[in-house]
């Protein structure tokens, strides 16, 4: 059994002495168009399928890291966390992989530009920014595919947050996961818009990690998930190449609903949806029947993200006045 520590040692070659006083980095959150759901190795976060995402560019995590003695000092959004805070504990456990000696401790200041409760996984941008900051601090000069491997060990979807734009995380087949990293796609979709709808800001009752396990391990419809993802990838890559946002939206919505369907078919059933989630989906479906080109995607939580072309933006804002709209590819200069 290959351990996370083996991978870190192999990539960093024990280079765990700071190169400078402080490492800094920023990484964007990402929204999966083809979802990551199910691990073949839970320590290394090796996925069962490929996944594909778009980064949200202006929403992400900014992290500064330096070393100290005593204990890790983790500041999240301006608040120094107690050492027994779940965020501190998970971060410190990950940082254990990068200490030259047990006495080596880190000072981390991390800030999420992620709207609270919008169902954006800040762990993705968080671990990507942390790995980039460590690379800066220690001067590893690793390439991004190597950093993607390290980020993946922190949180699976973090492997995709090393880049802006469209990113394809290849599941890989090796047991050490050295071929399981993300690669950016060349294509841009300047007219693509992502709309964030916050339906509930309550913490989800079950973590994605536990949810995946429950879906994959028991009797469920999960066995049909991989063939579906394979088919969706084969459809979405040409759609991206053609800049066909309608087709991308269709495939992404189908994929997201199918991911939630795998959960609802698990035992016990796993249902992140609230009545408001379903009401929002019915609203989108009804609007689409009336001609509005807008699609939904949902992660392991109750909130809905919209996928649409900038041409539909005014109509989307009329339908959902509270929507927060992101341009994943920035200002499209004429």
Residues that bind its own copies (CB under 8 A): 219-225, 227-228, 231, 250, 253-254, 257-258, 260-262, 264-265, 267, 269, 271, 273-279, 281-282, 285
Q: Measured from the CB of residue 307, what is the shortest distance to its own copies in angstroms? A: 15
Minimum CB distance to its own copies smaller for 188 or for 200: 200
- Collapse the DSSP code of 292 into the 3-class scheme (helix H, G, I; strand E, B; otherwise coil) and give the result: coil
240-244: long-range contacts (C-beta < 8 A, 24 or more apart)?
A: 240/166, 240/185, 240/187, 240/189, 241/187, 243/187, 243/189, 243/191
Minimum CB distance to its own copies smaller for 88 or for 250: 250
Minimum CB distance to its own copies smaller for 56 or for 228: 228
- CB-CB contact of 159 with 323 (8 Å): no
- CB-CB contact of 286 with 238 (8 Å): no
Q: Measured from the CB of residue 220, what is the shortest distance to its own copies in angstroms? A: 7
Q: Measured from the CB of residue 236, what is the shortest distance to its own copies in angstroms? A: 13
Residue 329 has what DSSP assignment? T
Angle between helical axes of 245-264 and 225-241 (0-180°, round to 10)? 170
Supply 93's token pair: 């456990």
Minimum CB distance to its own copies smaller for 33 or for 134: 33
Q: Measured from the CB of residue 234, what is the shortest distance to its own copies in angstroms? A: 11
- CB-CB contact of 165 with 54 (8 Å): yes
In angstroms, the CA 159 to CA 148 distance is 4
Contacts of 44 (CB under 8 A, 6+ apart): 2, 4, 7, 152, 153, 176, 177, 180
Q: How far is CA 271 from CA 260, 262, 266, in A?
A: 7, 10, 9
Minimum CB distance to its own copies smaller for 258 or for 325: 258
Q: Measured from the CB of residue 192, what is the shortest distance to its own copies in angstroms? A: 21
In angstroms, the CA 285 to CA 149 distance is 38
In angstroms, the CA 334 to CA 331 distance is 9
Minimum CB distance to its own copies smaller for 139 or for 218: 218
Q: Measured from the CB of residue 48, what is the shortest distance to its own copies in angstroms? A: 14
- CB-CB contact of 215 with 270 (8 Å): yes
Query: Parallel, antiparallel, or unpaired for β 105-112 and 73-76?
Result: parallel
Residue 181 has what DSSP assignment? -
Minimum CB distance to its own copies smaller for 113 or for 276: 276
Q: Measured from the CB of residue 257, what is the shortest distance to its own copies in angstroms? A: 5
Q: Measured from the CB of residue 224, what is the shortest distance to its own copies in angstroms? A: 4
Q: Measured from the CB of residue 56, what is the shortest distance to its own copies in angstroms? A: 25
In angstroms, the CA 270 to CA 283 distance is 23
Minimum CB distance to its own copies smaller for 1 or for 203: 203
Angle between helical axes of 144-154 and 122-138 (0-180°, round to 10)? 130
Minimum CB distance to its own copies smaller for 143 or for 322: 322
């Amino acid at each position: 059994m290959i351990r996370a520590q083996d991978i870190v040692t192999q990539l960093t070659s024990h280079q765990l002495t700071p190169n400078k006083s402080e490492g800094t980095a920023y990484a964007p959150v990402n929204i999966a168009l083809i979802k990551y759901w199910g691990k073949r190795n839970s320590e290394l976060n090796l996925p069962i399928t490929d996944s594909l995402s778009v980064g949200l560019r202006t929403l992400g995590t900014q992290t500064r890291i330096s070393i100290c003695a005593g204990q890790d000092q983790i500041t999240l959004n301006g608040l120094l966390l107690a050492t027994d805070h779940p965020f501190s504990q998970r971060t410190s456990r990950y940082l254990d992989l990068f200490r030259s000696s047990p006495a080596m401790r880190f000072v981390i200041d991390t800030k999420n530009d992620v709207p609270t409760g919008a169902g954006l996984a800040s762990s993705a941008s968080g671990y990507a920014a942390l790995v980039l900051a460590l690379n800066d601090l220690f001067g590893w000069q690793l390439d991004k595919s190597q950093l993607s491997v390290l980020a993946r060990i922190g949180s699976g979807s973090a492997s995709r947050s090393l880049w802006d734009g469209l990113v394809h995380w290849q599941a890989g087949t090796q047991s050490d996961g050295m071929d399981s990293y993300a690669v950016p796609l060349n294509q841009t979709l300047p007219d693509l818009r992502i709309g964030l709808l916050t339906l509930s800001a309550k913490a989800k009752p079950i973590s994605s990690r536990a949810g995946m396990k429950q879906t994959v391990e028991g009797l469920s419809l999960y066995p049909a998930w991989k063939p579906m993802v394979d088919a969706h990838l084969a459809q979405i890559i040409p759609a991206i190449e053609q800049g066909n946002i309608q087709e991308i939206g269709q495939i992404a919505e189908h994929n997201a609903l199918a991911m939630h369907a795998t959960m609802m078919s698990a035992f016990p059933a796993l249902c992140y949806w609230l009545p408001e989630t379903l009401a929002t989906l019915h609203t989108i479906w009804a609007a689409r029947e009336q001609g509005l080109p807008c699609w939904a995607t949902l992660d392991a939580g109750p909130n809905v993200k919209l996928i649409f072309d900038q041409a539909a933006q005014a109509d989307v804002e009329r339908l959902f006045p509270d929507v927060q709209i992101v341009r994943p590819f920035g200002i499209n200069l004429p």
